[in-house]
Amino acid sequence: MASVRPTTAPSESSSHVEMLRKLRNARRYTHLKQSSRAEHLVLTTHSYLTYHVDPILSKAITYMLVEQPPPAAIHPTLTAYFSGVEAGTPPAPTPMAGRAKISSKDRLFMAKAMAPLFSKLMNLLLAARPAPEEIMGFIIAAVKDMEAEASAAAEAAALAEEVAANEKLMAEQALAAAPAKPSAAYPSKMTILCVGVDGAGKSTFLKAVQGHENPNCKPTVGFECVTLKLEATKVQFYDLGGGDKIRDIWDSYYHDVHAVAYFVDAACDDMKWKETVEVAKATLGHTYLSGKPLLVFCNKSEAKAARDVDEIQSELQISAPPGGNTRVSAVTLHPQKTASPGTPDPNIDSALEWLFDCIAGDFENIKARLVEDVEKERIREAKEKAEKDRRVLTKSLCKAFGKDIETGGEGPVEDVFSVEDGHEFLAQEIGFLKAEELVEEGREICEIVGYQKLAMMMVGGMFAPISSKKRKWTWPEIKAHVLEVKAEIGL
């Protein structure tokens, strides 16, 4: 059923434009005393808006709120409305049954569609200050200009989307044509971790394999997943930022990848190279990565100062015997810096083909290892979360009973409810409407935790977890857990 929208215009005192104007003026008058010239400007602006602009825009806002045209029809609808007003035949809004309060849908329409448009219109009016008899013509011309701008922007966005789609298609076709091995030999999905210190060329590599001839990349902040299709195989590349402040997140992805593509800048200065070696050893030696297929891209091999493959392999302490699952390749990742500018380095394709073959050739073992590593990581995260929750509960109990957790002496009592308020709080935490619905076991635990707010929030989270993935505790289990923690800290 269609939602019912308001059909009457707001009064002059409650119009949307009037409200914005009052807030604007309130901010202006909070400053120190203004000069007479500035004060005159404020007063004339106030008068101009109140008597000449607000009456027109308020009715237009109400009309648009009732009609709520689709995005493509907003400017034409507004132009038709103002043209009708100018001609003395303003269009009547669509009849609606009865009156209704403004709904959340109405507010969303106002915030997303109307507020930017009318705000821009207001700014144009204030900048130009057309005479009262010229305001309507000015508004119509301004709305038509905005419609033309919106149409041009939409066309540009559509063109950009089409270009991006074509580039992705070309990249997928190029990647599919590169390996000589039949795609049927490959699994349906391969996930490859792309890591290396900042500036090593990870993002440039991913742009290049997507078909960009002259990639201009900014440093990756956090995580980005790039997916390419290799006929029936989906290849996912996890691009992780290489800055020293973001490397802490790297190990969150190690357990869930089939192989590693490690990137080094072969021509970097000695200080950066020392950092590169240290990070590579720490990363590639991690238990979740050790033994997985490894491809090391030695980027910028075209530079005169570039280190050769043997030196890099030696300093990174990487063993890459023939027929193994490790390979070190000298490459030029930026297409414009290759021997044929604009053409990708052929060593990239051959290295990727090797990596795909390496994954496919041992896929069942790698897949079994992933299952095992994912379960290990799940257990580790659960243990870490339980230890953190235990520390929080310990601090909360100390606040409940006035104990200093550091010294073991007396401390402040904080965030403690009365008995009645505590019962009501815990009842609401577990989904009850009234404290009377809380069972005796729940009331007993309130007393055991000293009616401390955070402790009872944790109790509520145990008994009625928000996530279906979390285990639901029973009252006896919660009681035993809290008493155990209290015993540990001597309470």
pLDDT, tens digit (0-9, with 9 covering 90-100), for 20-71: 555 555 544 444 455 677 777 778 888 888 888 888 888 888 888 888 888 8
**Dihedral sign from CA coordinates of 367, 368, 372, 378:** positive
Q: Which amino acid is at 23?
A: L
Backbone φ, ψ for residue 238 (5° rounding): -95, 110
Structure confidence at residue 321 (pLDDT): 79
Structure confidence at residue 298 (pLDDT): 93
List residues bridging with 239 in a β-sheet.
194, 224
Structure confidence at residue 220 (pLDDT): 76
Structure confidence at residue 271 (pLDDT): 94
Structure confidence at residue 35 (pLDDT): 64
Structure confidence at residue 99 (pLDDT): 47
pLDDT, tens digit (0-9, with 9 covering 90-100), for 115-171: 888 888 888 888 888 888 888 888 888 888 888 888 887 777 777 777 777 777 776
Query: Tokens 């394709």 sit at which residue?
Result: 349
Structure confidence at residue 479 (pLDDT): 92
Structure confidence at residue 46 (pLDDT): 80
Q: Rounded distance, CA 56 to CA 353, Å? A: 67
Beta strands 233-240 and 223-230: pairing type?
A: antiparallel
List residues bridging with 330 in a β-sheet.
298
Domains contained in the chain, CATH given: 12-154 (no CATH), 178-361 (3.40.50.300), 377-488 (no CATH)
Structure confidence at residue 176 (pLDDT): 62
All residue ranges of the chain with pLDDT < 50 are: 1-14, 27-32, 97-99, 179-184
Structure confidence at residue 17 (pLDDT): 57
